[in-house]
Amino acid sequence: MKSAIYPGTFDPMTYGHLDIIKRAANIFDELIVGVLDNKEKTPLFSADVRVNILKEATKDLPNVKVESFGGLLSDYCKSKGIYVVVRGLRAVTDFEYELQMSQINRKLSDNKLDTVYFNTSLKYSYLSSSSVKQIAQFGGDLTDFVPDFVADMLLEKFDQKN
């Protein structure tokens, strides 16, 4: 069985992420979506909430599993026996950071871990979790960016903050 992991912060998941998940799930037998639980960063949503958002959004994709992980991605992959990392590339500007991350992961895994890139669908090429949060903060329309239930969660979050 060919498994892969799609790691990320997903704070929150957008339609751009979901598009990559669906396309990768069509290629691999099993896709783990790995949600980084980084105690040093303060994301808008806790790791548990981010995992639940992804679980809800992927509930109709039987070969997709959502889990959180901490520490090094290469260690997490080793513990699961997974040697393919999936990442999305929106534009050339993503490439440098992605290449560096891929090389580090390869080095840390004794050259076992490879990264495959999906070019983001053109209609999501401008989309990021950060821009979605900013739009939500100022009450903008999120219809084309995140599922409705995520938009509601974002608006509630920013209501509480204000």
Give residues in contact with ligand PNS (CB under 6 A).
Answer: 7-9, 36, 72-74, 101, 104-105
> Catalytic one among 17, 50, 74, 87?
17
For residue 56, the minimal CB distance to ligand PNS (Å) is: 19
- Which residue in the list 74, 87, 90, 109 is annotated as catalytic? 90
Does 129 qualify as catalytic in the annotation? yes
In the numeric block, which tokens belong to residue 77? 């992959």
Active-site pick, 23, 129, 131, 161: 129
In angstroms, what is the minimal distance from the CB of 113 to ligand PNS? 10
41 an active-site residue? yes
Tokens, residue 4: 């892969």
31, HSE (Cβ side, Cα atoms, 13 Å)? 25
Q: How near is the Cβ of 159 to ligand PNS at its closest, in Å? A: 25
Active site residue 17: yes
Q: What is the DSSP string of 28-97?
A: SSEEEEEEE--TTS--SS-HHHHHHHHHHHTTT-TTEEEEEE-S-HHHHHHHHT--EEEEEE-SHHHHHH
- Is 90 catalytic? The answer is yes
List active site positions: 17, 41, 90, 129
